[in-house]
Structure 1
């Protein structure tokens, strides 16, 4: 396990509920396109890896698929089990999954590659559990980030907050370009074929209070960054967040935040 993986386990420990009340709705947006790209339909044996609160697993069950969902965080497994009661939901950590070779007709992972320390190794494991001819579909956040996606980061930067040493970045040798060519190339390097990648764009709507609640509870990297700061620094970040948020306020008082994600698919 890399230092990045160890950080991820600590960062997400016990945070399923606060994630469910903040960023989960944002992450749910690509679910239909993700399942379409993996050709998930009636009777398909599907693995949803990094299921989180179970949104994708539940949507796959609604299509009549036979769904197995896994997540590294036990509190997420609890929520996913409630959201997708027809699925088998397990705790499992990439890059070692408790399944035989070729178990699944389709593998889907919604933003899971953003949370593993060795993305290529993780993809190789996902290829292993996919049957020959089966399809895999994955999303990651695109870079550079659109303005709404960058709002919280801009507030942190405006407050002059530096990245603490205990929040390790992905090792340079394990990183890859977060653009269509970079993600498609990563999938090919893991032995997948017929790769394709597109960019999804959407506006996410949330109240300023909701959008701030996740980071203040320590959700995701931005939340861990805030928790590591003194109270006065967090207050400074909040002040900049309030100021910058005005750029995205709609007439109803909701934030309208442009986001972008990469959706890649391939075959074994």
Structure 2
């Protein structure tokens, strides 16, 4: 099992809920050439291809790109990461980024780059997590604390832009128009034990450290996690994302 496969079963499944709203422009036929930026294992790419779009998918992780290339041979696959993209100006009708803007080191520069590769009138759609309504991941942080394990979460540069007013201002500064942000809430229904396995197996800067703990310590964290996750086993973890749309 690769990290990409664990990510695909875990986080990609969690993030797939926002794919439909992200692809509104593609559904109405205005986005023939679509860029899936930060494509991961391809949930946006798959949906956009099904709509008949000409999809270019980019990610910085070679394992993700290998998986998406195997699954979607009709997509154009490139290794790249914001804020620098290997495309000419005005290349795409639409850019969709599902939970990538919250990971880039420089959000203002990333938005300027996304605007550069969009044609005039092209559509931008981006999503990110509402951090204080992300039970599906905060339960891991709470379990680490309950187990008495020292833990310093990685810095979140995007927290300076992660509310709707702040992000709308950022879009305006980057030169976008017709900007709007909506909140999308749902329940992530998943077996808690499987969710633990897939989140830890995916690795990454936030919870990859759990896979490196001594077995007895990791077992203590897992026991706390299962206790804290138990109330959500039937209806799922409540989560919330923001979804921004704008036009060049």
1:25-57: CA deviation from partner (whole Å, max 9, x where unpaired): 111111011001566637611100001111101
Query: Does residue 245 of structure 1 match 2:229?
Result: yes
* Aligned-pair CA distance for 1:168: 4.3
Q: Secondary structure at the match of 1:263?
A: strand
Query: Does residue 266 of structure 1 match 2:243?
Result: no
What are structure 2's unaligned runs of at least 5 residues? Answer: none
Q: Distance in 2 between matches of 1:151 and 1:256?
A: 12
* Aligned-pair CA distance for 1:119: 1.4
CA RMSD of aligned residues (A): 2.1
Q: Distance in 2 between matches of 1:162 and 1:38?
A: 46
Structure 1 match to 2:155: 169
Structure 2 match to 1:101: 89
Structure 2 match to 1:133: 121
Superposition pairs for residues 87-166 of structure 1, below 5 Å?
A: 87-164=75-152
Query: Does residue 204 of structure 1 match 2:184?
Result: no
1:192 aligned to 154, 176, 199, which one? Answer: 176
CA contact (8 A) 1:218 1:227 kept: no
Q: Distance in 1 between matches of 2:82 and 2:48?
A: 21
CA contact (8 A) 2:193 2:226 kept: no
Structure 2 match to 1:180: 164
Query: Does residue 233 of structure 1 match 2:221?
Result: no
**TM-score normalized by the length of structure 2:** 0.90
**TM-score normalized by the length of structure 1:** 0.84
How many pairs are equivalent? 247
1:71 aligned to 53, 59, 73, which one? Answer: 59
1:256 aligned to 226, 236, 239, which one? Answer: 236
Q: Distance in 2 between matches of 1:209 and 1:98?
A: 40
Q: Secondary structure at the match of 1:136?
A: strand
* Aligned-pair CA distance for 1:215: 3.1
Q: Distance in 1 between matches of 2:179 and 2:50?
A: 26
CA contact (8 A) 2:82 2:104 kept: yes
* Aligned-pair CA distance for 1:70: 0.5
CA contact (8 A) 2:177 2:247 kept: yes
Query: Does residue 49 of structure 1 match 2:37?
Result: yes
What are structure 1's unaligned runs of at least 5 residues? Answer: 1-13
CA contact (8 A) 1:21 1:214 kept: yes
CA contact (8 A) 1:148 1:258 kept: yes
CA contact (8 A) 1:202 1:258 kept: yes
Q: Secondary structure at the match of 1:169?
A: coil
Q: 1:216 to 1:264 in 2, by over 3 A?
A: same
* Aligned-pair CA distance for 1:228: 5.0
